[in-house]
Chains A and B, each alone.
Chain A
Amino acid sequence: MFRNKAKSDIRITIKNGRTIDGLQAFLPNEEVRGEAEIIPENDITVDAIRARLVWYTQGRGDRDMGVVDTVTGPSGFLTGGVPVRMDFTLRLPSAPWSYAGQLITLVWAVQIVVDRDRGLDYDDDQPIIMTPTFETLDPFGS
């Protein structure tokens, strides 16, 4: 999946998991393996490119979030228009599980952060699902 963000294209490919509703789904404590491709629009210098496994809330409440695993990739000078690739393997914890309710949605995502030495960082994420049972995602048993 290509996402066009200001000054950078970030492509995140998840290579394992099962597909539910178009998203890759994983069991708790499983590994998430994938690849990121970053194409900077201009020449930039980065402190590091990081792949992070994050959860965050969406919905009525103010956002809560957590970073559970991070892999640090290439750093240094990146030439504009030249793709940079990074493999990552991230480990999911036992909780929280993905959830979609009335007020709260719990989202898991692989996030790629281009940590620039100067200026704003670039980032993009690819949502995934973490669930202990793949049969159904109905938390209310209805």
Chain B
Amino acid sequence: MHQLEPSFSEITSTGRSGCGVVSIAAVSILVALLGAGVFGLMALDGSDLPFLDNPAAAQVADNLPFVLGGLLCLGFGSVAAWAVGSTIIGGAMRRAKLDEPEVLGPEKVRVGESFRVQYRQAVKGDINVTRINVRLLLREWVRYTSGTDTYTTSHDHVIQTHELPGGLFSSGSMIIQELDFAIPPSGIHTFPTPQMIEDFKDSPEVKQMLERNPRLAVRITQATTFTPARNNKLSWHVHVQIDIDRWPDYNQAFEVPVAAEVLTDNRF
């Protein structure tokens, strides 16, 4: 058995390349601080609107920018809080109750093959688990450009689901599961395959690049993006979702490499 690598957390997500949660949070905080700064300066300046003679209207007009400024800051602040909270705080809260799991599975699986996954996760605080949902997913991931922007999106095909009962887990206990899955006989392998990546390194285009600029070529060929399929990927994952009563859910997928081979005689 082999430790499966964590891959992603939420299923069927859509993202924008280079504009992650951290970027959203950073921009939101910056805008909120700028807004607060501008309206703070206005308040210090005691600026007025000269075309309003009515004292009541002038007072409303005086206060209006602060109200609008406050709403603006509140809006951006909420976005920032959501972005930061859902990742950093949520993650920290989950880690406060659950340790990182040990997920053991096969090093590679053939199409049509059954396989077993062993899941062990230490509980660090008393929790009431309402549901454990473990799914086998085939993820399609694509990257595309529109104008000068690059976007990514994905689609998850749920192939198999294990719905497991929860229960009360005390600090120091373990969540232990052994689950069987099967890649459908008509399924597809992980794309690109490791062999395709190796073949790509030996391709005439890459050899030409190596001859032209060896130093740059070494850096490029060592990058994870160096693959014949930079914009389209197919991958298999075991996704674990643990619903905890009055606590953020635990969501994590673990990649299962599927080889471009078909199992003809499946003996588990």
> B-contacting residues of A (Cβ < 8 Å)?
28, 57, 59-64, 66, 93-97, 99, 101-104, 106, 132-133, 135-141
A102 in complex: contacting residue of B140, B187, B199, B231, CB < 8 Å:
B140
Q: Is the beta-carbon distance between B192 and A62 smaller than 8 angstroms?
A: no
A1 → B minimal CB distance (Å):
27
Complex contact A61–B142 (CB within 8 A): yes
Pick the contact of A62 from B153, B196, B231, B262 — CB < 8 Å? B231
**Nearest chain A residue, comparing its CB with the CB of B230:** A64
A-B contact list, 23 entries, CB within 8 Å: A28-B260, A94-B260, A95-B196, A96-B193, A96-B196, A97-B260, A99-B191, A101-B155, A101-B188, A103-B141, A103-B153, A103-B155, A106-B191, A106-B232, A136-B186, A137-B186, A138-B186, A139-B138, A139-B186, A139-B187, A140-B159, A141-B159, A141-B185
| A61 lies within 8 A of B144 (CB) | yes
Q: Which residues of B contact A (CB under 8 A)?
A: 111, 138, 140-145, 153-155, 157, 159, 184-189, 191-193, 195-196, 199-200, 203, 228-232, 234, 260-262
CB distance from A44 to the nearest CB of B (A): 25
Residues in chain A near residue B144, CB distance under 8 A:
60-62
Q: Which of B140, B184, B189, B200 contacts A66 (CB 8 A)?
A: B200
Q: How far is the CA of A138 from the CA of B112 in the complex (A)?
A: 13
Residue of A nearest to B150 (CB): A62
Give every chain B residue within 8 A of A132 (Cβ-Cβ).
111, 260-262
Tell whether, in the assembled complex, residue A93 and residue B199 are in contact, meaning their CB atoms are under 8 Å apart. yes
Q: How far is the CA of A59 from the CA of B232 in the complex (A)?
A: 9
State A96–B138 Cα separation when bound (angstroms): 16
When distances are taken between beta carbons in the complex, the residues of chain A under 8 Å from B191 are 95-96, 99, 104, 106
